[in-house]
């Protein structure tokens, strides 16, 4: 499917996405850019890591995205005693049937909220790897596909807080984007204080898309055109990170592919059928910085701006 096949709003944004972004931003207030990045992540078939202090709206954002996208939703509160089988499920013996029957765990959903993922042990964190990468679960010698679409939205508290286990690099790389909500501005916070509890507003949030519509948008995003000059720009950005001082790692080829996929999704949200360098720049901090061995999401804006400024536009 091409973008010309999708109904567009007067501003050029595909109307279902416009409605979905506006609805979520109406819950969070003042976070339109972050909401748009989260929507681009899901349209690009990625997984999202939201890192911030408790009480900033991470869980509300995940709930709101599930509601407006019309997705089956499960939430798992990660704790230090959680086991991998608590996520994937397992076989339970049924006396009446005389056999073991597999009972699916919370991974078998369309949108999984992995809340405070860094409070779980590394063994349990790694149980998400196959599900996030392969979109399937192996248990008792049997491989079972997960529903389509399948998204993981994980939240984590800053690693300097008590009882946290930092995500290893291999786990971080499974997330297409890492975002931080940050504190609201004064007007937004006053409106929150005056208004109704945001969780109560979630109950009245209507879906703007269904599963078929979301899958169609994902297909359209993959068809967004990227010119040779644009591909060279993405490659130049990745190459620059590999030779920049102060970075823990350079951007891998998989990271460059993730940057391109996110740029295509952003172009779709902008109502275009081709990727511009500005699309890549818009998603670069969220896509690249957690892959470069730097600090948390709140501390990387300056580093991202420096990297972008060092690479000439095509």
Predicted pLDDT of residue 54: 81
Mean pLDDT of 271-280: 94
Check residue 280 and give its pLDDT.
97
Residue 65: band (very low, low, confident or very high) from pLDDT cuts 50, 70, 90: very high
Q: In this structure, are residues 187 and 30 in contact, taking their beta carbons and an 8 Å threshold?
A: yes
| Residue 231: per-residue pLDDT | 97
Q: Per-residue pLDDT for 285 more than 80?
A: yes
| Average of per-residue pLDDT across 84-106 | 80
Q: Assess whether pLDDT exceeds 60 at residue 176.
A: yes
Share of the chain above pLDDT 90, in %: 39
**pLDDT tens digit string along 3-17?**
555 544 444 555 678
Tokens encoding 167? 């995500």
* Residue 161 pLDDT grade (very low, low, confident, very high; cuts 50, 70, 90): low
| Cα 238 to chain centroid, rounded | 21
What's the CA gap between 257 and 259, in Å, rounded? 5
pLDDT attached to residue 196 = 74
Under DSSP, the state recorded for 135 is S
Question: pLDDT at residue 163 above 70?
Answer: no
The reported pTM is: 0.88
Q: Mean pLDDT over all residues of the chain? A: 85
Per-residue pLDDT, 1: 46
Q: DSSP characters for 225-281? A: B--HHHHHHHHHHHHHHTT-TT-SSPPPHHHHHHHHHHHHHHHHHTT-SB--HHHHH
pLDDT, residue 111, reads 95
Phi-psi domain of 267 (left: phi exceeds 0; alpha: psi -120 through 50; beta: other): alpha
Given this model, what pLDDT does residue 286 score?
94
Task: Report which DSSP code applies to 14.
Answer: B
The span from the CA of 180 to the CA of 156, in Å, is: 10
Q: How far is CA 80 from CA 121, 159, 165, in A?
A: 6, 15, 9
Measured CA to CA in angstroms, residue 167 lies from 73, 117, 154, 298, 305 at distances of 23, 8, 11, 16, 25
Q: Which of 182, 174, 209, 222 has the alpha carbon at shortest distance from 49?
A: 174
Cβ 40 vs Cβ 265: under 8 Å:
yes
CA dihedral 236, 276, 284, 248 (to 10 degrees): 0
State yes or no: pLDDT of 70 exceeds 70.
Answer: yes
CA 136 to chain CA centroid, nearest Å: 18
Residue 238 pLDDT exceeds 80: yes
Instruction: Indicate the range of 108-117, 128-137, 215-224 predicted with least confidence.
Output: 128-137
Higher local confidence (pLDDT), 11 or 40: 40
Whether residue 132 contacts residue 47, with contact meaning beta carbons closer than 8 Å, is answered with yes
Closest residue by Cα to residue 264 from 64, 5, 45: 45
- pLDDT at position 194 is 84
C-alpha distances out from residue 213 to 20, 43, 207, 248, Å: 12, 11, 11, 40
Percent of all residues in the chain with a pLDDT value above 70, rounded to a whole number: 91
């Amino acid at each position: 499917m091409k973008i010309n096949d999708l109904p567009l709003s007067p501003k050029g944004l595909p109307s279902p996405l416009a409605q979905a972004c506006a609805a979520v931003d109406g819950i969070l207030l003042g976070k339109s850019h972050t909401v748009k990045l989260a929507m681009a992540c899901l349209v690009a078939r990625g997984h999202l890591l939201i890192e911030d202090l408790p009480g900033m709206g991470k869980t509300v954002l995940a709930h709101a995205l599930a509601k407006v996208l019309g997705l089956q939703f499960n939430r798992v509160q990660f704790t230090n005693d959680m086991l991998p089988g608590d996520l994937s499920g397992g076989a339970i013996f049924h006396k009446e049937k005389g056999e073991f029957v597999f009972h699916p765990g919370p991974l078998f959903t369309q949108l999984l909220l992995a809340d405070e993922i860094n409070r779980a042990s590394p063994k349990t964190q790694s149980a998400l790897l196959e599900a996030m990468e392969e979109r399937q679960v192996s248990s008792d010698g049997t491989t079972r596909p997960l529903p389509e679409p399948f998204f993981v939205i994980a939240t984590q508290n800053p690693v300097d807080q008590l009882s946290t286990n930092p995500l290893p690099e291999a786990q971080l790389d499974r997330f297409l984007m890492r975002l931080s909500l940050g504190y609201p501005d004064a007007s937004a916070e006053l409106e929150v204080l005056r208004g109704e509890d945001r969780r109560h507003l979630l109950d009245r949030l209507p879906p703007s898309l269904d599963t078929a519509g979301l899958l169609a948008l994902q297909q359209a995003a993959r068809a967004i055109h990227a010119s040779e000059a644009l591909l060279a720009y993405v490659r130049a950005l990745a190459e620059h990170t590999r030779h920049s001082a102060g970075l823990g790692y350079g951007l891998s080829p998989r990271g460059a592919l993730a940057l391109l996929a996110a740029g295509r999704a952003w172009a779709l949200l902008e109502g275009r059928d081709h990727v511009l360098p500005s699309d890549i720049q818009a998603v670069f901090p969220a896509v690249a910085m957690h892959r470069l061995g730097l600090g948390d999401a709140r501390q990387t804006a300056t580093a991202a701006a420096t990297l972008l400024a060092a690479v000439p536009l095509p």
